[in-house]
Structure 1
C-alpha cells in the first residue's frame, strides 16, 4: 500500500490502527456485516477515496435540512468514512477534530437511513474489536453479537465476496 499517495489524495494522514487493519486484511467484510474501506480498492463501494467523496456530498446536502450532530459543531471538525454496515446504509466515520493527531480520532456511527448518530471514544481497531466481541456499548451493533454470537470471526475479501463481477 502506498500510504503517502493515499494520504495525499485524501489531504490527511490516516490513523496507524487503520493502516494496520488494511495491511492485515485489505478490502472486505468482517462477519458478513462490516465492510472495511481501503484506498485504491478495485470495488467502488470499498474504495476509501470514492466513499469519502460520495459521503462528503451526501452529508453536505443533509446538513442543509438537519442539524449536524453535536460532535461536528466544533469549527473545523470533519468526518471521514472508514467502514460501512452491510445492507443498511449505515457508515462508520472517524471524527477528526482540529489539531488532533489521526491516532486520536474517535468513531461516529450513523445509521444511514435516519438522523441518529452514536459516538465511541476509541479508534477504529478498538471499535471493530469491541463490536465483534460483543463488548461495544452500542444501540446499533448490539443486535449483531446477539444474533451471531460467533465463536470464531470471519473475514472475507472483497474478491471472495463480490468476485470480479463486482469490479
Structure 2
C-alpha cells in the first residue's frame, strides 16, 4: 500500500468488502496502464463519495454515473470540442500529453491525471478543471496524495469548494441506482 493511501485509510477506514476490478479490460479500453495507487484506492474503497463532494470514478462502477471508462469517453469528446475555442492549459501543449478523468465533484469540477509522454502512470500528476469555465490548476501529486492532502486540508485549491473537506469526514461507497 502506498504511503498516501495508508494516510487516507487512517483518515477514513475502508469498507470491509474490497472491490474487484477487471484492470486488463479497463486499461485496454483506455489505452494506458493506470497508476498503482489508484488501483489500490479502488480496491479498498471502490467508486466513492468523499465528504459529500468529491466522487472517485471506478471502471465498471455499480453506479453508471461514475464509471471511469464512460467519463473518459465523454470528457475526451467534450475537451476536444472545447479546445477548438479555448486555449489548452500549458501542461497539455506538450506533444503526446492528455488528461484522463479520475474524479469529479458535485459542482461539476473534474479532476484528471496529467498523462505525459515518457512518464510512467505512477508519476502522473493531478489537474483540476473548474465546472463551467476555463480555469485549470495543476498539482504535483498522485491521485492518492491529492486525496489525502485535500482531506487533511493541506491542499488548497482556488477551484474546489471552500467547504471541502468537511470538519467531520463523510464517506460512502457508490452502489447501483
User: Is the structural similarity TM-score above 0.5?
Assistant: yes
Structure 1, unpaired ranges of 5+: none
Indicate the SS of the match to 1:60.
helix
The one of 13, 21, 24 aligned to 2:41: 21
Conserved? CA contact 1:44–1:51, under 8 Å: no
In the TM superposition, what is the alpha-carbon distance from 1:145 to its structure 2 partner? 4.0
Q: Write out aligned runs for 1:14-163 (5 A).
A: 14-86=34-106, 88-141=107-160, 143-145=162-164, 148-150=166-168, 153-159=169-175
Structure 2, unpaired ranges of 5+: 1-20
In the TM superposition, what is the alpha-carbon distance from 1:44 to its structure 2 partner? 2.5
Higher relative contact order (CA 8 A, sep 6+): 2
Query: TM-score, normalised to structure 2's length?
Result: 0.84
Query: TM-score, normalised to structure 1's length?
Result: 0.89
Separation (CA, whole Å) in 2 of partners of 1:107 and 1:120: 5
User: Which is further off, 116-125 or 129-138?
Assistant: 129-138
Separation (CA, whole Å) in 2 of partners of 1:28 and 1:103: 21
> Runs of 4+ in structure 1 displaced over 3 angstroms?
none
Cα RMSD, aligned residues only: 1.3
Indicate the SS of the match to 2:108.
coil
